[in-house]
Every structure is written in C-alpha cells, then in structure tokens.
Chains A and B, each alone.
Chain A
Amino acid sequence: MGRIFHYAFVLTLIAVISAGILAYADKKTAEPIENITKKLENSARKELFPDAEKFVEKEKKIISKIEYVPAYNKSGEKIGFVAKGSENGYGGAILFMVGIGMDGKITGLKIIDAKETPGLGDKIFLESWQKKWIGRDSKYEFNKKEDAFAGATISPTAVYSGIKKALKNMPVEKKEKLNIETSSITKESIDKKIAEKESYKFGNASYFDISNNNGVIGFFIKSEAKGYNGKIVFEMEVDKAGKINTLKITENSETAGKVDEKELEKWQKNWVGRDVNYKFDETNDAIAGATVTTKAVADEVKNILTKYEEIRKKRGWE
C-alpha cells in the first residue's frame, strides 16, 4: 500500500511542478506573443492593402464568419477592408486574407494556411497566382484555364468561392457608396449650429433647431421616404419663413444607374426656395425612370412642411 501512495505522490508532485512551470511560462510569454501576432497581422494587411495607413481592429465586423477590418489612408478616410475567411479545399480549411477597396475591387490576396496537396493544390501559395486576383471584383467568373492548375482544380476553386463570399458580404454602408456626406449642409456656413437633440418628431421626421449667435434661425430636418426598392434618407434645412434652404438625399437603395449623380444634384437644387404651398409637378419634378422614388420624397417633404407650419405657429414665427 505504502508504495502506491509513494507513486501517486511522486507523480502528483511532477504534475504540480509541471503545471506551475507552464502557468508561469504562459503568463510571461502571453504578451509578447500577442504583440507579435498583432504585428504580423498588420504587416500582412499592409501587404494586401498598400495604400492603407491604419487598420482599426476595434471596428472589426464579422459577417457570415468572415472578419472585416476597415482600412484607412493617411488622411483618415476609409478606403476599404481586409477580410479574413476560410473555405474548405481538398485537404481541409484554406485560410485566406483578401484586401478589398471601397470600389469592391481586390487589392491583394494572401493564403495564410492550407493543407493542400504539395506540388498540386498548394500552388495557391504561389505569389504569381495570388497576384492574378488583384483588380478583380465580385462579378469575376472563375476561369479554369487561367486560374486552375493542371491536376488541381478544387483548391483554387475553393479560394475563389471564399473570395466571392468575402466580396459579397462586404459591410459597406450605402451612403459610402453614393459618396454624399451627411454633414455637407452644415459645412456651407460655419457659424450655424444644429441642436444635438431633436425638438420635434413626427413620423419618420426629426426636427432639429438651427441657431447662430442671434438665436434660432430655422430647422434641420432629417427624414426618410419609402422608394421603389426601400428607404431613402434625406435631410433638409428650412428657414423661419418656411422656405426650403437645402435638400439632400443622403442614403438611397434605389436601382443603381437609373439616376446619375449630376441629375440628382440638379433635382435637389430645384427644391430650394419652395414652401408648403408648392405642388408636385410630375413633368418637371420627376426624374425620368424614377418617378416612384421622386414622388415618394416629394410627398414626405410636403408632410414635413405641413407639420412645420404648426411648429412655426407654436414658436410665433408667422
């Protein structure tokens, strides 16, 4: 019996000492290892996105298991994402990173880890093959002649479908696509100040006080209308007399290409100076091919202005 306890004691002692050493080593090395991992990831990202200056880990978004880390250039502008994902190949998961510009085009591809057949599928590690993907977008169709290797189609196809998923799920907000800045209305005159909290809210419309040194000079109104494909968010400024100062569409999900930006800008300018008495005129005010959308916005503007008259009464601006 005594012997058994002796054995147990020795083994336990070794186990405890081992565990202690491991815990200590782990504690000591955890930070440097994390730093190295971060540094490596950043340099890998930089390789994929040469134009980028900074990658903000905090703003990472995970969409269908793909990690998107936004990339910023020197002036702090968001210029794209580096996406990390995995796709099953011939010999297991293929881990890849792909840089995607704001225009949806690939800026670089890197295979991080894969266990494809040496000499066949593992040619996806070749730099020359990875470079082929630069400039392609989600519309690109896999070309067997060009993109596959003799005897190895599964591995490159897997990378292709992984990339395609990454491109399709890219978390781009619509206003980034349209490139209209939300704050542009207020940018025009610096001394104007928009209240942080809305004073009134009717339906979708929120009314914010605009004031300068002399007090309130009008309202900034943000609202949305239901268009042909979904919501259209727009902003307008209305002065004390009830006349529209500016109107701007900030977000829209309408059929792309139907309305070009110049036409939209012209259309927005037409609204300047109009008030509650203005009647929507289909021939003048509808943009060709987008009648439903323009009408929806016009209707919402009319609603907003009608309610605005009540506010004017309350404030004694009549």
Chain B
Amino acid sequence: MSGKYYKEFIKGVFKENPTFVLLLGLCPTLGVTSSAINGVAMGLATLIVLIVSNVLVSMIRRFIPDKIRIPAYVMLIATLVTVVDMVMHAYVYEIYKVLGLFIPLIVVNCIILGRAEAFAAKNGVVASFFDGLGIGTGFTISLTVLGMVREILGAGKLFGINFMEILVGADKWQPALIMILPPGAFITLGFLMAGINYIKEKKHKEVK
C-alpha cells in the first residue's frame, strides 16, 4: 500500500471519522446501535456498499454531466443496494439474517451519497476504493463502540454475553433502560464526542 492510498484509508478512521467528526449518517447510527453486534453488522454492510458505490461513481464520473450528478448517483446507489439485498437474501442467508434489516437503511445513509459527491466524483478509482474502505472502517468502529457502551449500560451485556450479571450478580445490577432507547443514543454519542474532542484539544495544546 503506497503512502497516498494509506492516507486516504486512515483519514476515514480518525481525522474524518464519519460519525464523530463529520457527523454524517446519524440516522442509522442512532437507530441501530442498541447492541454491539447490531453496530458491527450495520457498519460492515455500509462498508461494502460504500466501497462498491465509490468505485462505480468514480468509474462513470466522466460521463455524468455535473448538473444531474445527484439524481444519477442516487439511482446508482439505490440499484446497487437493492441488488446486494436480493443476492444476499438468496445466496448467503446466514449473513443476510443478521444484516438484512440494515441493508435497506443504507440507501438513505447520507455517508454513501456524501462520499460519492465529495470524493469519488473527483478522484480516481483506486483512491475512491481506499476512501470507501477508510470511511467504512471508521463508521464500523464508531458504531461498534456506541453499541458496546449502550449495550453494557442498557442491558448489562456485551455481544450478547450477560457479563454484568456474572460480574456483580443479577440482584445487584439494574440496567439503565434509557440507554438502549433512542435518547440513550444521543447521550452516548454526546459523551463520546466530548471525550474525543477533549483528547484532541489536549494534544493540540501539547504540540503548541
């Protein structure tokens, strides 16, 4: 991996993390992260679609007139997601069972259109691939972290394992239900962003 492509990849994970920095695609972020496994699943499904859509958009970017690029991308992405949904349903049902719920949600995820517009329409195919990979990975990590925090606090579990009960005993542990309801998503996201910004600022000062 040459330095340029590595940069495209790594910026999506940290500097331009879609959830914590760009605040893109918040709808699925807040909606599905009630458990860690949901976060992983949604993240991975988005990652795959993002890579393919980035590559396709980059490939046809010279043929699409500027003024109609948005409807063209939307059509492309919607077709892509629908085909992915059908193919997975038909041939890899085990994976579809976990991801199936999230795939239609990807169509409305603005990360996909956002990256098509902001990156793939202006860059080459390989660079777009790494941009999709990076942003998708960043999205997956963010969703997983969100899901983990919410699952621990809201259900006392992690990846479905009832570890809080084992740790402190069932009678002493009362999960905070709000954490797996929508408000819990906002609270968790807010605290995580505050934490990340605090670390960033501290680093910034140190550099100075």
Contact = CB atoms under 8 A, between A and B. Distances in A.
B86 A7 contact: no
Contacts, number: 57
Contacts of A126: none
B76 A14 contact: yes
Contact of B82 (A22, A36, A117): A22
Nearest to B67: A7
| Secondary structure dominating the interface of A | helix
B65 interface: yes
Contact of B72 (A14, A32, A119): A14
Interface in B1-35: 34
A10 interface: yes
Contacts of B63: 10
Interface stretch (B87-95, B106-114, B115-123, B200-208): B87-95
A28 B75 CA distance: 21
Contacts of A18: 75-76, 78-79
Contact of B89 (A6, A11, A29, A119): A29
Contacts of B68: 7, 10-11
Contacts of A26: 86
Interface residues of B, number: 26
A178 interface: no
B41 interface: no
A29 B177 contact: no
Contacts of B64: 10
B91 A32 contact: yes
Contacts of A118: 34, 180-181
Contact of A14 (B75, B82, B83): B75
B147 interface: no
| Secondary structure dominating the interface of B | helix
B97 to A, nearest CB: 9
Given A119-B154, A119-B177, A33 B90 contact: yes
A290 interface: no
A3 B91 CA distance: 43
Contacts of A14: 72, 75-76
A288 interface: no
Nearest to A39: B93
Nearest to A25: B83
Contact of B180 (A3, A33, A119): A119
A150 to B, nearest CB: 11
B31 to A, nearest CB: 11
Contacts of A32: 90-91
A21 B79 contact: yes
Contacts of A28: 90
Contacts of A119: 154-155, 175, 177, 180-181
A120 interface: yes
A18 B60 CA distance: 14
A22 B75 CA distance: 11
A118 B79 CA distance: 32
B79 A22 contact: yes
B71 interface: yes
B35 to A, nearest CB: 9
Given A25-B83, A32-B91, A118-B34, A15 B65 contact: no
A36 B90 contact: yes
A256 B181 CA distance: 51
Contacts of A25: 82-83, 86-87
A3 B83 CA distance: 31
Interface string A1-29: 00100110011001100100110011011
A30 B89 CA distance: 10
Contacts of B87: 25, 29
A25 to B, nearest CB: 5
B72 A11 contact: yes
Nearest to B84: A25
Contacts of B34: 118
B79 A29 contact: no
Nearest to A117: B181
A118 B179 CA distance: 10
A133 B150 CA distance: 32
Given A3-B65, A10-B64, A22-B83, 8 more contacts: A11-B68, A18-B76, A25-B87, A26-B86, A29-B90, A29-B91, A33-B90, A36-B93
19 contacts: A3-B65, A7-B67, A10-B65, A11-B71, A11-B75, A21-B79, A21-B83, A22-B82, A25-B83, A25-B86, A25-B87, A29-B87, A29-B89, A29-B90, A32-B91, A36-B89, A118-B180, A119-B154, A119-B181
